[in-house]
């Protein structure tokens, strides 16, 4: 199995940052084998690799930083790269945030599907879990066990009539990702909106790009739902993107997560890659 990139450069416009509210466009360029996923902040003339070494802890999004230059909300785009098997890509933009579009990964997936993917000569590699791993912080738990495939079990727990405590199991393949995950939109609680706006966040947020969990226990904009368990599915979309920070390698293993988010995903990755070097290996995929 070989590494992949896109067939040709393409432009994606009409986007707006979820938190900054700024409009921007993205240019995607093919990249050679072993290049990885790299963002180029054209306005700052700085390239930022999309790997854990450049990631910074953030509760509401995944942030990258290099030489004091930050780039926010990269998780949905990275999730699509992982989901489609894109190993190498140069992403050019002139803003500090990747556009939110409809709150899912669909716009990126649709663009890459239209352009098409190209196979490279370099062999595709993955990170394979060898031993059971457990990480926790308060009520947040992430665990992994060895597997030749990638499987996610994600558990969420919200005091909300339509959500409550639920769990979803996902077998990660490109086909399953396209069918079950890529269209899952981000979400928030109605009561959190004033606080986020007071903190100068979600300037680009709307009922069109986020599922809003209403105060009365329902969905405030149920017409935008694709699935009734969409918040749980979006959590898996986010985790797939965050885990792709492992040097842009698919991680082979069974993962169980409870109440985790961007900051805990990064903490787990750092624990795995820095402190548990005995528990994984890099393999070439056939």
In the chain, which stretches have pLDDT less than 70?
none
Residues 130 and 240 in one domain: yes
Residues 175 and 57 in one domain: no
> Looking at 123, 147, 171, which one is the last position of a domain?
123
Q: What is the pTM of this model?
A: 0.94
Task: With beta carbons less than 8 A apart as the criterion, state whether 115 and 2 touch.
Answer: no
Residues 232 and 173 in one domain: yes
Residues 81 and 167 in one domain: no
Characterise 45 by phi-psi region: left (phi > 0), alpha (psi -120 to 50), beta (else): left
Residues 135 and 73 in one domain: no
Residues 117 and 201 in one domain: no
Give the domain CATH number at 250. Answer: 3.30.1700.10
Residues spanned by the domain of 10: 2-123
49: closest CA among 60, 58, 57, 40? 40
To the query of whether residue 262 is one of the catalytic residues in this protein, the response is yes
Distance CA 84, CA 173 (A): 9
Residues 245 and 138 in one domain: yes
DSSP 227-254: STTHHHHHHHHHHHHHHTTTTT-EEEEE
Q: To which H or E segment does residue 188 belong? A: strand 187-189
Q: What is the pLDDT of residue 186?
A: 92
In the block, residue with structure tokens 């785009």: 77
> Looking at 93, 123, 153, which one is the last position of a domain?
123
Torsion of CA 173, 224, 228, 140, to 10 degrees: 70
> Looking at 95, 123, 151, which one is the last position of a domain?
123
Residues 237 and 157 in one domain: yes
Distance CA 184, CA 194 (A): 24
160, 234, 262, 265: which is the annotated catalytic residue?
262
Go through the chain and tell me how many residues it has: 286
Residues 93 and 134 in one domain: no
Distance CA 247, CA 13 (A): 27
> What contacts 24+ positions apart, CB below 8 Å, involve 224-230?
224/185, 226/183, 226/184, 226/185, 227/184, 228/162, 229/166, 229/168, 230/184, 230/185, 230/187
Residues 100 and 141 in one domain: no
Distance CA 242, CA 240 (A): 6
The edge-to-edge listing of strands for the beta sheet with 23-30 is 10-16, 23-30, 89-93, 37-41, 46-49
Q: What is the pLDDT of residue 102?
A: 92
Q: What is the pLDDT of residue 199?
A: 78
For the chain, how many structural domains are there in total?
2
Torsion of CA 54, 91, 68, 186, to 10 degrees: -70
The per-residue pLDDT for range 88-99, each reduced to its tens digit, is 999 999 999 999
Residues 113 and 184 in one domain: no
235: closest CA among 145, 281, 166, 283? 166
Q: What is the pLDDT of residue 86?
A: 98
Q: Is 174 helix (H, G, I), strand (E, B) or coil?
A: helix
Give the domain CATH number at 83. Answer: 3.30.230.20
Residues 33 and 134 in one domain: no
């Amino acid at each position: 199995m070989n590494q992949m990139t896109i067939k040709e450069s393409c432009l994606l416009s009409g986007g707006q940052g979820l938190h900054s509210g700024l409009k921007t466009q993205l240019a995607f360029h093919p990249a050679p084998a072993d290049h990885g996923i790299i963002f180029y902040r054209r306005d700052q003339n700085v390239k930022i690799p999309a790997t854990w070494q450049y990631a910074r802890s953030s509760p509401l999004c995944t942030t990258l930083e290099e030489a004091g230059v930050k780039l926010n909300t990269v998780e949905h785009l990275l999730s699509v790269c992982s989901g489609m098997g894109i190993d190498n890509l140069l992403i050019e933009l002139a803003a500090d945030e990747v556009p939110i579009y409809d709150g899912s990964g669909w716009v990126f997936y649709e663009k890459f599907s239209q352009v098409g993917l190209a196979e490279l000569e370099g062999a595709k590699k993955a990170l394979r879990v060898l031993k059971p791993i457990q990480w926790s912080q308060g009520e947040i738990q992430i665990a992994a066990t060895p597997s030749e495939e990638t499987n996610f079990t994600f558990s969420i727990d919200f005091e909300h009539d339509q959500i409550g405590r639920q769990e979803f199991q996902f077998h990660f393949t490109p086909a399953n990702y396209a069918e079950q995950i890529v269209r899952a939109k981000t979400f928030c609680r109605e009561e959190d909106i004033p606080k986020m706006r007071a903190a100068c966040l979600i300037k680009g947020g709307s009922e069109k790009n986020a599922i809003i969990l209403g105060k009365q226990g329902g969905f405030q904009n149920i017409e935008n739902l694709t699935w009734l368990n969409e918040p749980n599915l979006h959590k898996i979309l986010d985790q797939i993107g965050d885990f792709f920070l492992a040097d842009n390698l698919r991680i082979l293993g069974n993962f169980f997560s409870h109440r985790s988010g961007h900051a805990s995903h990064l903490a787990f990755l750092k624990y795995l890659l820095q402190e548990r070097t005995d528990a994984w290996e890099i393999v070439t995929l056939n």
